[in-house]
Amino acid sequence: MNTLITMQYVGTKYHGFQVQQNALSVCEVLQNALEKLYGTRPPVKGCSRTDSGVHALCYCVSFIQPKPIDPQRLPLAINMFLPDDIRVISAQKVADDFHARYSSKSKEYIYRIYNSSTDDVFRKGTYWRFSKRLDVSAMQAAARLLCGPHDFAAYMSAGSKIIDTVRTVHFLTVNQQGDDITIHICADGYLYNMVRIIVGTLIEVGTHRMKAADVADVTKSKDRSKAGDTAPAEGLFLYKVNY
Catalytic amino acids?
51
Cβ-defined contacts of 203-206 (< 8 Å, 24+): 203/113, 203/130, 203/134, 203/139, 203/228, 203/229, 203/231, 204/228, 205/135, 205/138, 205/139, 205/141, 205/142, 206/134, 206/135, 206/136, 206/138, 206/139
Task: Give Cα separations from 60 to 21, 131, 206, 209 (angstroms).
Answer: 22, 34, 33, 38
Helices (H), the chain: 26-38, 74-79, 136-144, 194-206, 214-221
